[in-house]
Structure 1
Amino acid sequence: MIPGRTERDATSWSKGKLRELLVGITVENEAGHCEVSELKQVEGEASCSSRKGKLIFFYEWNIKLGWKGNVNVSKKKGDGDILKDLMKTAGTAKVREALGDYLKALKTEFTTGMILPTKALSTQELTVKRKPSENTLQAHALSPVALGVRIPTVALHMTELFDTTVEQLYGIFTVKDLVQKFSKAPAVLEAEKGGKFQMFDGNITGEYIELLKNSKIIMKWRCRNWPEEHYATVALNFVPTLGQTELQLDCKGVPVCKEENMKFCWQKQHFEEIKGLLQLPTLNG
């Protein structure tokens, strides 16, 4: 942990709070009535860290809501679409309002330790099944609401000199055997545009966006403990410099609370390990 900084994981608390705020939301008009009946999916992460006397909140969630509805008209074609439109308009507005309440609670309830008891959450999982009458159509649908909550991110720029050629250094990042040697862990690489990769036994995953041989690599890049589907963009530039190679690292989209971890990852687990690999006679032979 960084000196002078504390961090609290709000993920578990947030899942309970989101369920409390979202399940039971109702919207209606003259055509029908809809109710959010359950959280089909709640994936993501939230935390609060104290840094230099300031509180920094980190959150990103991907949520799918299950909802049920009754149409207040006789059965006819298109009644299901009426309910879908109602959820897309009024329903979405209420969901966003509830998310605003969640953020307020994260910044007040959670930080002061007023965490809701977990046993109270079980009642929120119950759903009420209505029996349709003769002139009522009951609709069931899964309504995905992707919450791309904006999270605070930082950009990193690092440079490092290596006693090797650009060809060899480029290969260390794109040849499976060499990646496994410096990372000392299993790796999967598809070194081509759109190809996937896994390094450090799956702790780092991503996708190659662009590869200019012996010159540049651009990747979508994430750590396993980052929020679901959140990627940074990593660009590696290989610059020949007086018999050496300068590696220029530019990284955008790193979650603020993971900044130090990211620096450590590249400095200690990449740069220093690659320099150790370059000293091996088998590599140069």
Structure 2
Amino acid sequence: MAKWGEGDPRWIVEERADATNVNNWHWTERDATNWSSDKLKALMVGLTVENEEGSCEVTEVSKLDGEASINNRKGKLIFFYEWNLKANWTGKTKAGVKYKGTVEVPNLSDENDMEDLDISISLNKEEPETSLLALMRTKGADKIRQTLGSYVGLMKAEFTQGMILPTANGVAAPQSTHQSKAKLDKTQISSSSSTSAPVNTGVRLPTCKFSLREKFLTSPADLFRVFLNQEMVQAFTRAPATVDGQRGGRFRLLEGNIFGEFIELIPDEKLVMKWRYNNWPAEHYATISMTFVDRSSETELKVECRGVPESEEERTKEGWKRYYFEAIKQTFGFGARLY
């Protein structure tokens, strides 16, 4: 047991600008309830699905009870949210016949996986049977899960910033409860050369080209924004990042292991960038072209990589699959089958 006046140094407020929470040891909490309430309503209202029979739209969030908060303890972020949501929807057949119904989500919480989320969709009592109910229970339910999953990702992006305070010895990067291992994995991207300067060999570099495809349960517009919005990039990489999301804008992420420049942007359709690992030969960039294809309830992302050093082909492929595709799906709830 420590003697009086010889307490754990982590509890001692050292000399620093804000004089609080040195080394992020103390429990801190931010209330995200009001922000979440507004965001959930904005995301849900206007949600639409359609097929050959007609279309349906969520018109109002009639009930939203719950709370949300973000906690920091020992430099780790813990996200808590629990909501009971009820919304109204309207349907319209191709013949112009209108129907009304409700959507109930009784337990949107951090304890439930999004794919297992209980969603109850029904017609109002006075409404006759319609095939639009089946549309809402299939495509509608899928899109609602996708939308509520994006709420979770956006909350993490919004509230991660500022939760991890600077320590006495420098700036601490945001970390979630699963980040310690993720951070270790990411440093392995650049293997032994992450701390050394790129080498200019002065010889022609053998390169290769390859393509990747992945499907995401979201719209092209939402997926396009993930790559250009700095807060969203920081959310799925779980680390500080610099992203200037415009033509000619530069980006740097994963602790500087990846950086480059956006050279072509066609909103919601195509994104082209100069892209490199920091240990590639000096000034050598690959060209990454991303095409966003609307597949109704999904977006197919086609990624073409040109100019990748031959020796880096497998590492680059695995890096894109793991640190872009899988991370984006897990963070924003855009999960879809892999192929």
Larger Rg: 1 or 2? 1
TM-score interval (norm. to shorter): 0.3 to 0.5
Q: TM-score, normalised by structure 2?
A: 0.40
Which structure has more RCO (C-alpha within 8 Å, separation ≥ 6)? 1
Q: TM-score, normalised by structure 1?
A: 0.47
